[in-house]
């Protein structure tokens, strides 16, 4: 059984990023253990916390990241980059220096946008951080999901059959990628 951590960069209720993540999870094997990692409760990273008074939520988040075998990360695009909450989560679990719990873990990065280019800039910004964190990235197919309102219902769930199939197929490929990198 593989443990998959899911990070969604959008904190909004009914987010399209959450809908994309949900559709990807549906393509994982039935025996996959899937954990949605909460990032909305994490205080902004501050290096002072590495020395003393580490917030309990930092410690719990780092432990949860360490327990996962692989990650699916879905982000919207905010001003041609990733949301601050997602970057904060990546930073928290990469610190203190030398204790990066993301290290070596397989990851599937995905982006979505209400626009036509599918958050390509956010995707590549995310990839830069993931590479630096020494995560093993599945690079093909690239997941830039554009025009998400037309692919989703009013609650952000993907309803477009072709998109659902593409995302489920990609998740299946990611599962094989993860198993090949164990």
Characterize 127-152 residue by residue with b for buried, 16 or more Cβ atoms within 10 angstroms of its Cβ, and e for exposed: bebbeebebebbeeeebbbbbbeebb
Q: Token match 């695009």: residue? A: 77
Is pLDDT above 90 for 51?
no
Q: How confident is the model at residue 52 (pLDDT cuts 50, 70, 90)?
A: confident
Give the pLDDT of residue 182.
82
List domains and CATH numbers for the chain.
3-180 (3.40.50.360)
Task: State pTM to two decimals.
Answer: 0.96
pLDDT digits (tens, 9 = 90+) for 116-168: 888 999 999 999 999 999 999 999 999 999 999 999 999 999 999 999 999 99
Write out the E strands in 30-127.
33-36, 70-76, 106-113
What number of other Cβ atoms are within 10 A of residue 97's Cβ?
Answer: 8
* Residue 88 CB neighbours (<10 A): 15
């Amino acid at each position: 059984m593989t443990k998959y951590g899911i990070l969604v960069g959008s904190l909004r209720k009914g987010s399209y990023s959450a809908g994309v993540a949900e559709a990807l999870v549906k393509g994982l094997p039935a025996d996959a253990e899937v954990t949605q990692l909460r990032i909305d409760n994490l205080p902004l990273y501050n290096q002072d916390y590495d020395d003393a008074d580490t917030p309990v939520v930092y410690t719990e988040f780092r432990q949860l990241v360490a327990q996962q075998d692989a990650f699916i990360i879905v982000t919207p695009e905010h001003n041609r980059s990733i949301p601050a909450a997602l970057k904060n989560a990546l930073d928290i679990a990469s610190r203190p220096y030398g204790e990066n719990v993301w290290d070596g873990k397989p990851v599937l990065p995905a982006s979505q946008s209400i626009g036509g280019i599918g958050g390509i800039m956010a995707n590549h910004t995310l990839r830069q951080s993931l590479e630096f964190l020494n995560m093993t990235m599945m690079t093909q197919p690239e997941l830039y999901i554009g025009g998400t309102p037309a692919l989703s219902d009013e609650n952000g769930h993907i309803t477009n059959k072709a998109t659902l199939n593409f995302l489920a197929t990609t998740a299946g490929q990611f599962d094989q990628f993860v198993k090949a990198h164990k």
